[in-house]
Structure 1
Amino acid sequence: MKTTLKIDVEELKKSMLQRRPMKDRFRMPMSEEKAYAYLLAAIMAEVEYRHRVFCSCEDMEKQLQEIAHWLTTPSSHFGILLCGGCGNGKSTMLKAFQQLLNALHIPKPYNEGTYGIRIVDAKYIAYLCKNNHEAYRKLISVDMLGIDDLGTEPSEVLDYGNVYTPVIDLLTKRYEEQLFTVITTNLTPQQIREHYGDRIADRLNEMVKKIVFSNGTYRTDKLATPG
């Protein structure tokens, strides 16, 4: 009886997965070492684009290694959270990743074009929710999304008497659909929990690989990489 039940359960699971296939996680089709080299080149280019002089450091190398590892190895996480203080390279890293995807032209499955990531400021998400709800609705479901400066947006927006929570609703939908999401924030994980509540904090724990930027600001005359 137990053996038969086990077989029935396995067959049922296979049947359910065939009807609702597991969503593929984005991975860069290369070795971790190559991904690291490409990310390094991309961030160097982003710094030069901002008319600054690139200076490598141990903290940045560690951050690149963590991101390269996550982008090239299997993981249950389907996004990254870059968290830390002001001006220490989080936004630069996100923009460098965007430019790298644009340069590599990595093909999507089923001839659906190439991978690319859209980057929006968290405040702009709130603005769209209030002023262009159709555009906001489309933004929620893009394949790859970068959210810059999480925590700077208003928690709620009021539209004709309706109260919306733009970022919370967006993150909830992307959690449910397992959509690739990169987030930068100056908030600590504890501050994220306090700001957005236990529900969103717990979902972010499942969604994202946390990478802490513990280095100081680069916005000085001596160091180069802007944040």
Structure 2
Amino acid sequence: MKTIDRTQKIDVEALKSQLATLRTIPQRFKLPLSEQQAYDALLAAYQTEVANRQASFVSNPMLEKNIAAMAKALTLANPKFGIMLCGTCGNGKTTLLRAFQLLLNFLNGKGYFEQSTGIRIVDAKDISALMRDPHTKTVRNTPMLAIEDMGREATEVLDYGNVLSPVVDLLEYRYNEQLFTFITTNLNAKDVRQKYGARIADRFNEMLCVIPFTASSFRGKTLNT
């Protein structure tokens, strides 16, 4: 790269081209399927997860809408680098996350991805221990990570007298590195802002496709989660 001559006007486009060689643009995750194929595949995986819990699957418009929203988010030409399923308990968030994991494992086994692809699911309450343990600290660099039940964990923890915010630290790191992050939570947007602060809430707007679950609990009914 030539030295910048302070007597001349900078050629912005030329400099931008040279600066780009110093940065690696992260490749965001995208399902190797059409939007309709992704919907059908997620629906099949969801039904499989319901059957695995020895329950009967009964579709409804809200569930179909949520699966369709997720299929669209996962097949966009320029996708975000995460998904958040939010809403009250018992209405299908975890089942859809597990369905996504099942579908990924299936597609991976069939050679749909150039590199081995899967998603690691961790409970939000376990993140504090995982972040402190040097043997499991790689959780923050996991290419695809799902945080289950975000909001149930303590926002701050004490570690040898130091106040830490493990989930916030993890989310900020993954935001900066543009690593795919999947979240399920019973919190709504207002709750997220109150619990984690405006900084994280603002990053979520860029980072995550938010899919609200507004149906009542399926537990104890014919449609199970």
| TM-score scaled by length of structure 2 | 0.91
| Residue 192 of structure 1 pairs with residue 192 of structure 2 | yes
Please state whether the residue corresponding to 1:72 is helix, strand or coil. coil
Count of residues paired in the alignment: 216
Q: Could you report, residue by residue, the CA deviation over 1:86-121 in whole angstroms, capped at 9, with x for unpaired residues?
A: 100001110110111001115555xxx311000011
Secondary structure of residue in 2 paired with 1:175: helix
What code does the residue aligned with 1:122 have? A
Taking only the aligned residue pairs, the percentage that are identical comes to 48
Q: Name the amino acid aligned to 2:148.
A: D
Aligned to 2:101: 98
Instruction: Give the equivalent residue in structure 1 for 2:166.
Output: 166
Aligned counterpart, 1:17: 20
1:61 aligned residue (61, 64, 68): 64
User: What corresponds to 1:34 in structure 2?
Assistant: 37
Please state how far the C-alpha of 1:18 moved relative to its aligned partner.
2.2
Stretch of structure 1 that moved more, 199-208 or 157-166? 157-166
**Given residue 59 of structure 2, which amino acid in structure 1 is its aligned partner?**
S
Q: Which residue of 2 aligns with 1:151?
A: 151
For the residue of structure 1 that corresponds to 2:223, the secondary structure is coil
Separation in structure 1 between the aligned mates of residue 126 and residue 51 of structure 2, nearest angstrom: 26
Higher helix proportion (structure 1 or 2): 1
Task: Specify every segment of 5 or more residues in structure 2 that has no aligned partner in the other structure, as ranges.
Answer: 1-7
1:79–1:181 CA contact under 8 A, matched in 2? yes
Look up the match of 1:176: 176
C-alpha contact 2:29 2:79 (8 A) present in aligned 1: no
Q: Which residue of 2 aligns with 1:128?
A: 130
d(CA) in 2 for partners of 1:206, 1:199: 12
SS at match of 1:75: coil
Q: How many Å apart are 1:195 and its aligned residue?
A: 0.4
Cα distance change on mapping 1:5 and 1:26 into 2, 3 Å: farther
State how far apart, in whole Å, the 2-side matches of 1:128 and 1:22 are: 28
1:217 maps to 217
**Aligned residues of 2:39 and 2:67 also touching (Cα < 8 A):** yes
- Taking the aligned partners of 1:65 and 1:14, their CA distance within structure 2 comes to 38
CA contact (8 A) 1:84 1:212 kept: yes
1:44 to 47, 50, 53: 47
* CA–CA distance in structure 2, aligned partners of residues 114 and 214 of structure 1: 34
Q: Which residue of 2 aligns with 1:142?
A: 142
Pairwise CA distance, 1:74: 2.2
Measure how far apart 1:139 and its partner are: 0.3
CA RMSD of aligned residues (A): 1.6
Check the 8 A contact 2:30/2:79 in 1, yes or no: no
Q: Describe the SS at the equivalent of 1:19.
A: coil
Q: Quote how far apart the aligned CAs of 1:11 are.
A: 1.5
Counterpart of 1:114?
116
Task: Tell me how far apart the structure 2 counterparts of residues 211 and 71 of structure 1 sit (CA, whole Å).
Answer: 12
Q: What TM-score do you get using the length of structure 1 for normalisation?
A: 0.90
C-alpha distance in 2, partners of 1:216/1:126? 31
The match for 1:89 among 89, 92, 108 is 92
> 1:212 and 1:42 mapped to 2: Cα distance?
20
CA contact (8 A) 2:83 2:183 kept: yes
- Tell me the amino acid that sits aligned with residue 213 of structure 1: F
Could you say which residue in structure 1 is the equivalent of 2:75? 72
**Which blocks of at least 5 consecutive residues in structure 1 are unaligned?**
none
Q: Which moved more, 1:98-107 or 1:56-65?
A: 98-107
Distance 1:108 1:93 in 2: 21
